[in-house]
Amino acid sequence: MPDPGKTAAIILAAGKSERMKYPKPLLIFGKETAVDRLIRVCTEAGCDTVIVVLGAEEARVRANASLSGAQVVINEAYEAGRTSSLQVGLRALPAEATAFLLFPVDHALIETETVKNLIDLWHASDKPIVVPSCGGRRGHPVVCDRSLAPEFLALGTDAPARQVTVSDSSRIHYVETQDAEVLRDLDTPADYHDALEVYSARGGEAGFLAPKGAGGRPSPKRPPV
CA 35 to each of CA 74, 148, 196: distance values in angstroms, whole numbers, following the listed order: 15, 25, 15
Overall average pLDDT of the 183-200 stretch: 90
Cα angle, residue 122 at apex, residues 118 and 128 outer, rounded to 5° = 130
Can you name the residues that pair with 143 across neighbouring β-strands? Answer: 101, 130
- Count CB neighbours of 146 within 10 A: 19
Q: Could you report the per-residue pLDDT of 98-146, keeping only the tens digit for each?
A: 999 999 999 999 999 999 999 999 999 999 999 999 999 999 999 999 9
**Domains assigned to the chain:** 6-209 (3.90.550.10)
Give pTM, 2 decimals. 0.90
Q: Could you report the per-residue pLDDT of 33-76, keeping only the tens digit for each?
A: 999 999 999 999 999 999 999 999 999 999 999 999 999 999 99
What pLDDT sits at residue 31? Answer: 85
With the C-alpha atoms ordered 52, 143, 122, 198, is the resulting torsion angle positive or negative?
A: positive
In this structure, the dihedral spanned by the alpha carbons of residues 96, 101, 102 and 106, taken in order and rounded to 10 degrees, is: -140
Q: Which residue would you say has higher pLDDT here, 205 or 60?
A: 60
Q: What is the 3-state secondary structure (H, E, C) of the chain?
A: CCCCCEEEEEEEECCCCCCCCCCHHHCEECCEEHHHHHHHHHHHCCCCEEEEEEECEHHHHHHHCCCCCCEEEECCCHHHCHHHHHHHHHHCCCCCEEEEEEEECCCCCCCHHHHHHHHHHHHHCCCCEEEEEECCEECCCEEEEHHHHHHHHCCCCCCCCHHHHCCCHHHEEEEECCCHHHCCCCCCHHHHHHHHHHHHHCCCCCCCCCCCCHHHCCCCCCCCC
Q: Could you report the per-residue pLDDT of 133-180, keeping only the tens digit for each?
A: 999 999 999 999 999 999 999 999 889 998 998 888 899 999 999 999
